[in-house]
Chain A
Amino acid sequence: MLDAGLLNAVLFLPLFGAALLLAAPAAHHDFTRRLTLGVMTLQFVLTAWLYLRFDSRTAGLQFETRLPWIADWGVYYQIGLDGYNVLLVLLTAFLAPLVVASAFTAITKDVKLFYAMVFLIQFAMMGTFVAQDLFLFYVFWETMLIPMFLLIGIWGGERRIYATLKFVLYTAFGSILMLAAVIYLVYSLQQTTGVISFAFADLVKARLPLDVQSWLLAAFALSFAIKVPMVPLHTWLPDAHVEAPTAGSVILAGVLLKMGTYGFMKLGFPLFPDATHLFTPVLMTLAVISIVYGACLALVQDDIKKIIAYSSISHLGYVMLGLLCLDLAGIQGAIIQMVSHGLVAAGLFLMVGMIYERCHTRELAAYGGLAKLLPVYSVFFMILTLASVGLPTTSGFTGEFLVLLGAFKAAWPLHVLGQSSLPLVLAVVAVTGVVLGALYMLRFALGFLYGASKAPHQPLSDLNGREKTILGLIVVAVFWLGLFPDGAMRKTELAAKAYQQLVSSSRLPEKRP
Chain B
Amino acid sequence: MISRDVLLAMLPEHLVLLGIVLVLCLEIAGRWQRASLAVALACVGAAAIAAARLSFDGYSAAPFAGQFSVDPAALIAKAMVLALALPVLLMSRDDFDGGEFPALLLSSLYGVCLLQSADSFLTLFLGLEIMSLPVYALVLLAYRRPQSAEAALKYLVLGGTATAMFLMGASLLYGSSGSMAIETFSRALGSADNLARAALVLIILSFFLKAAIVPFHAWAPDAYEGASVPVTAYMATIIKAGVLLAVVRLFGDAILASPLLGLLAVLPLVSIVWGNLAAMRQQSFRRMIAYSSIAHAGYLFYAMLGDPAGRLQAVAFYVLAYGLLNLLAFAALPAAADDRERDRLDNLKGLFQRAPFAALMIGIAMLSLAGIPPFPGFVAKFLIFKNVIAAGHVTYAVLGLVGSYLGIYFYLRVIQLMFMSPDASVAAEGKAQRLALGASLACLAAATLVMVFPGWVLLRF
The SS class assigned to the A binding surface is helix
Judged by a CB distance under 8 angstroms, whether A17 is at the interface is: no
Determine which of A75, A145, A154, A168 lies in contact with B455 in the assembled complex, contact meaning CB atoms within 8 Å. Answer: A75
Judged by a CB distance under 8 angstroms, whether B373 is at the interface is: yes
Distance in Å from the Cβ of B441 to the closest Cβ of chain A?
14
Q: Give Cα A199 to B459, complex, Å.
A: 21
Would B382 and A179 count as touching, CB distance under 8 A? yes
Q: Which residues of A contact B420 (CB under 8 A)?
A: 150, 153-154, 160-161, 164
Q: Which residues of B contact A176 (CB under 8 A)?
A: 401-402, 404-405
Judged by a CB distance under 8 angstroms, whether B261 is at the interface is: no
Interface string of A57-79 (1 = CB under 8 A from B): 00000000000111111010000
Q: Give Cα A168 to B411, complex, Å.
A: 12
> Looking at B379, B398, B458, which has the most chain A CB atoms within 10 Å of its CB?
B398
> Looking at A73, A146, A169, which has the most chain B CB atoms within 10 Å of its CB?
A146
Q: Give Cα A269 to B415, complex, Å.
A: 36
Interface string of B368-390 (1 = CB under 8 A from A): 00001110001100100110011
Judged by a CB distance under 8 angstroms, whether A172 is at the interface is: yes
Judged by a CB distance under 8 angstroms, whether B239 is at the interface is: no
Judged by a CB distance under 8 angstroms, whether B449 is at the interface is: no
Closest A residue, CB atoms, query B459? A72
Which 4 residue pairs are nearest across A and B when measured between Cβ atoms? Answer: A70-B455, A139-B373, A142-B373, A176-B405
Contacts beyond the supplied A70-B455, A113-B419, A180-B394: 19 A-B pairs with Cβ under 8 Å: A72-B459, A110-B352, A139-B374, A140-B373, A143-B372, A143-B374, A146-B367, A150-B420, A153-B420, A165-B409, A168-B408, A169-B408, A176-B402, A176-B404, A177-B402, A180-B397, A183-B389, A184-B394, A187-B386
Would B374 and A172 count as touching, CB distance under 8 A? no
> Number of B interface residues, CB 8 Å?
31
Distance in Å from the Cβ of B392 to the closest Cβ of chain A?
9
Distance in Å from the Cβ of B129 to the closest Cβ of chain A?
36
Residue contacts A-B, CB under 8 angstroms, 8 given: A72-B459, A73-B386, A143-B374, A146-B372, A150-B415, A165-B412, A169-B409, A180-B397
Judged by a CB distance under 8 angstroms, whether B283 is at the interface is: no
Would B419 and A180 count as touching, CB distance under 8 A? no
Judged by a CB distance under 8 angstroms, whether A149 is at the interface is: yes
Q: Which of B393-421 contact A (CB under 8 A)?
A: 394, 397-398, 401-402, 404-405, 408-409, 412, 415-416, 419-420
Q: Which residues of B contact A110 (CB under 8 A)?
A: 352
Judged by a CB distance under 8 angstroms, whether B454 is at the interface is: yes
Chain B residues close to A by CB (< 8 Å) = 352, 356, 367, 372-374, 378-379, 382, 385-386, 389-390, 394, 397-398, 401-402, 404-405, 408-409, 412, 415-416, 419-420, 454-455, 458-459
Q: Which residues of B contact A68 (CB under 8 A)?
A: 455
Q: Give Cα A150 to B415, complex, Å.
A: 9
Interface string of A112-150 (1 = CB under 8 A from B): 010000000000000000000000001110110110011
Q: Which residues of B contact A72 (CB under 8 A)?
A: 455, 458-459
Would A183 and B397 count as touching, CB distance under 8 A? yes
Given contacts A72-B458, A139-B378, A160-B420, contact A179 B401 (CB under 8 A): yes
Given contacts A165-B409, A168-B408, A173-B405, contact A142 B372 (CB under 8 A): yes
Closest A residue, CB atoms, query B385? A183
Would B412 and A138 count as touching, CB distance under 8 A? no
Closest B residue, CB atoms, query A138? B373
Given contacts A169-B408, A169-B409, contact A150 B454 (CB under 8 A): no
